[in-house]
Structure 1
């Protein structure tokens, strides 16, 4: 077993603060955050839009309009709907099964592009190019979605969402690889917290603004959601092309001082390392990290996909309340993840607490606290809306522990193979994302509270099991099979020091 390790700055290395106006890596991580945000908008828009696209009263086995739920006969009246306009009443008659197919098709497309990344797509064409091409694909798909839904039906909508997923799937593997290239080990939890905050920002914006756009007459209501978010994606693509480079070595505008600081505090890596597949795929560290990846993705997709429908059909909320309440858990997560990432990196720099200890504790907190919240939600009914929203917020808040937890582990355990490790992680996440809508739809085919009780217990079980696995086997130390020497010499003034700093 590897020795427990902690971070120290290489002797003689001059610090170059991340939080400064001249820090180029800060601009890079903000742009990565914008990338995740733009892609997140074009991922989540459909989840809220489906509430006002589909005529739920005409959907087989849909329980909308039922005044009693399976909660002991308690009356659950809907919110006042007087503020809703006719534009929020859907005219598409898609069954629950058809909706789940459309939801899942997005992640099937993402799976294919993630596999392409795992087998060298990003290395061949460059990280920044792959990200922007993926975003362009998503932008085009976003503009085509209303046309496909209204005139092409389920099949054409499914195809468009599949193509959009293929564009979105390259985002996180490439983003994680860029963090490895641009950030010293002591800043990676902070960097992960910043760029993944784009997820929460996109959820907040998508949930709130989608609900408002659904109720307007602008561009006939719900189609305006896809056009608006497509424009945001187009703006991102333009900015990305002018600002971002794959690494400090490829950047023309970075200062020599910052380049040297990054070089001396990140991990050495060969030009074209041979991937030790057997060691990687049999590593308990890698497998425990992937188990948390699966749990996070399954719970995340289940919630962002069905939370608006849950609030609409079980909690009987109108669109305005739905948009606000669906956004609140992601506000909580956004705040907590930034704080947790900063605290984790501060502990690494200022204390003798090992990186592994910080990673395990953070991840354990995320898994078990969120699991406890899901378990609590299983026993609530529509007469306890405020408590349900509070538990959703607390659950998403606690999931921020995954950032200094297994997310940091992913970019730390095998720096030379970061793109491969993260691509395989995204493959696991895409598989979880694909099956989550099917499983939730199959369980909640009548949209009753008793069915959601089963869903929440399932989510809790997945979180508990994965959290225990990582607590026993997880690590943020560089694995022995990943400790390789550079193939090509690096210029003397830009000499790499290994993560030796981890003792």
Structure 2
């Protein structure tokens, strides 16, 4: 079983960069922590530098995972990123914000491997009936890491370590994870030393073949390299429906997480950033609801109430259209509705967890052989949206205290949620596509005393 917890959570680090910059903090009564009085423009550059690299490596990471295995690429990506997190305070001290920008750029390049490699591993390790379960458990780790760090970051910053301790603790946790991952994780069941033969056979007896054949007939291990069918992918309507659902979901998700705190403070007079528990509450709600939706999906699967396609559409609709309605309602909140506004925020973010059982797994439905590459492509497009969404807010909301301008933002985001899911449930497909399993042309040649099968060409 694959369980991936995203321990070095850089959303949390972004939050703390905004929270502790420009503040002089006295911890022992005699010495002061080193702080950096960066202006808002500099902080925006520092915070965005991570995504400059993150977008770039999405597609290459999918290709590398397909060629060398998700375990290896993910190990190096997380490990390097965690070490750089530990070095962040030191880089800030010796080089100021340009060094921090360069460091976060490299971190983004490394973190770009997480989603494509995870999808690659799930496609290898998860039988069809358990994809929803393992996918939800794996991806819910990001909410767990974020919620935990938001809850403890204030305590760490007020300890003898000060604000650098946030980077030491999160980076150190990532390094420990890397060691465990290196020794216990494997690219595929056939490479694992920690599962029984019965379990391996159960996992590998899939109707959809793997991109790597475990053994050749002559008992020499041979990897079957399948060239990525770029033309078929780029002309696939179901793939574009999955990409659109991913991109619109990310637009809404990042609009909520980056702009709702400003909206609550400017319109409703609530500063949730000063309350660590309240800041982390949306992540806790999303984590709990992800397991609630997983329970519902397991019940539906066992009772055979829904087919796979209906299940994907149902959960994707819950994850898109209920938040859509919540966003429309959020635009009409006033200072007299503080409690209702917080409840709406929890509902909007929490319901988004249903998408783990919707478009999030559609890449594997379409092509288990190229799931990592497909995830890299859609996640690249989605993270371009995460960059564009705050820019759109800055262009439209010229007066943060104007509720009508915020209402426009909420209506636009709701429209994205509506269109993304409408296209997904109307034109999306949930069965393996014909281009997933190219037919190899086998050429045999003599090699010492045996003949090895060499895949020289591929016909789609």
TM-score range, shorter chain: 0.7 to 0.9
SS class of match (2:37): coil
Equivalent in the alignment of 1:158? 101
* Contact 2:249-2:420 within 8 A present in 1 as well: no
Q: Which residue of 2 aligns with 1:191?
A: 134
Q: Where does 1:423-442 land on structure 2 (aligned, <5 Å)?
A: 423-442=376-395
Q: Are residues 461 and 150 of structure 1, via their aligned partners in 2, closer, same or farther at CA, if it must alter by over 3 Å?
A: farther
Residue 286 of structure 1 deviates from its aligned partner by 0.8
Tell me the CA shift for residue 159 of structure 1. 1.7
Q: 1:406 to 1:131 in 2, by over 3 A?
A: same
| Structure 2 contact 241–423 (Cα < 8 Å) conserved | yes
Which residue number in structure 1 is paired with residue 45 of structure 2?
101
Q: Is the 8 A contact 1:268 1:485 kept in 2?
A: no
Measured against aligned partners, the alpha-carbon deviations of 1:413-467 in whole angstroms (never above 9, x if no partner) come to 1112112111112211222223234333444565435354333233212111111
Structure 2 Cα separation of the partners of residues 155 and 446 of structure 1: 31
Note closer, same or farther for the CA distance 1:452–1:163 as it changes in structure 2 (3 Å cut). Answer: farther
1: CA distance between counterparts of 2:101 and 2:335? 32
Shift of 1:171: 0.5
Q: Does 1:114 align with 2:68?
A: no
* C-alpha displacement of 1:123: 3.2
| Deviations, residues 279-307 of structure 1 (Å, cap 9, x unaligned) | 21222211111111112222223333445
User: What's the counterpart of residue 420 of structure 1?
Assistant: 373
Whether 2:412 is the aligned partner of 1:480: answer no
The reply to whether residue 336 of structure 1 matches residue 289 of structure 2 is yes
SS across alignment from 2:142: helix
Question: What does residue 456 of structure 1 align with?
Answer: 410
Change over 3 Å in CA distance of 1:458–1:320 after alignment to 2: closer
Distance (Å, rounded) in 2 between the aligned partners of 1:163 and 1:442: 29
SS in 2 for 1:265: coil
The structure that is strand-richer by fraction is 2
TM-score, with length taken from structure 2? 0.84
Q: Is the 8 A contact 1:294 1:432 kept in 2?
A: yes
Corresponding residue SS for 2:369 = helix
What is the SS of the residue equivalent to 2:187? coil
1:375-403 deviation digits (Å, cap 9, x = unpaired): 22222244432222111111122112211
Report the counterpart of residue 425 of structure 2 in structure 1. 471
C-alpha displacement at 1:315, in angstroms?
4.8
8 Å Cα contact 2:57/2:109 also seen in 1: yes
Aligned partner of 1:384 among 318, 337, 343: 337
For the structure 1 residues 200 and 266, does the alpha-carbon distance in structure 2 shift closer, same or farther, using more than 3 Å as the test? farther
- Of 218, 222, 225, 2:160 maps to 218
1:137 to 61, 75, 80: 80
User: Does the CA-based 8 Å contact 1:44-1:304 persist in structure 2?
Assistant: no
Which range moves more in the overlay, 446-455 or 460-469?
Answer: 446-455
Compared CA separation, residues 123 and 481, structure 1 to 2 (3 A): closer
Confirm or deny: 8 A CA contact 1:363 1:467 kept in the other structure.
yes
Provide the C-alpha distance between the structure 2 equivalents of 1:107 and 1:281, rounded to a whole number of angstroms.
24
- Report the equivalent of 2:241: 288
Instruction: Note if 1:259 corresponds to 2:200.
Output: yes
- Alignment of structure 1 residues 10-49 onto 2, 5 Å: 25=1, 29-30=2-3, 32=4, 34=5, 37-39=6-8, 41-49=9-17
Q: Distance in 1 between matches of 2:389 and 2:229?
A: 31
Checking the alignment, whether the CA contact within 8 Å between 2:86 and 2:171 is kept in structure 1 is: yes
For 2:68, the equivalent position in structure 1 comes to 125
Higher relative CO (Cα under 8 Å, sequence separation at least 6) belongs to: 1
Match of 2:447 in 1: none
Contact 1:52-1:89 within 8 A present in 2 as well? no
Q: Distance in 2 between matches of 1:325 and 1:202?
A: 16
- Contact 1:210/1:225 (<8 A) preserved: yes
Structure 1 Cα separation of the partners of residues 205 and 92 of structure 2: 52
Q: Is the 8 A contact 1:114 1:170 kept in 2?
A: yes
- Asked if the contact 2:250/2:383 (under 8 Å) is kept, the reply is yes
Distance in 2 of aligned mates of 1:239 and 1:43: 23
**What's 1:240 paired with?**
181
Question: SS in structure 1 opposite 2:365?
Answer: coil
- Helix, strand or coil: the match of 1:412? helix
Structure-1-length-normalised TM-score: 0.77
- Distance (whole Å) between structure 1 residues aligned to residue 271 and residue 314 of structure 2: 39
Superposed counterparts of 1:362-377, under 5 Å: 362-377=315-330
Q: Distance in 2 between matches of 1:302 and 1:151?
A: 34
Instruction: Map 1:290-329; keep pairs closer than 5 Å.
Output: 290-311=243-264, 315-317=268-270, 322-329=275-282
CA drift of 1:321 comes to: 5.1
Count of residue correspondences: 423
Range with bigger deviation, 464-473 or 309-318: 309-318
Change in Cα spacing, 1:354 to 1:461, as seen in structure 2 (3 Å) is same
2:52 and 2:386 map into 1 onto residues whose CA distance is 8
How far the C-alpha of 1:268 sits from its partner, in A, is 0.6
1:100 Cα deviation (Å)? Answer: 3.2
Q: Cα–Cα, structure 1 residues 115 and 442, in superposed 2: closer, same or farther, change >3 Å?
A: same
CA distance in 1, matches of 2:108, 2:406: 27
Residues 370/320 of structure 1: CA separation in 2 closer, same or farther (3 Å cut): closer
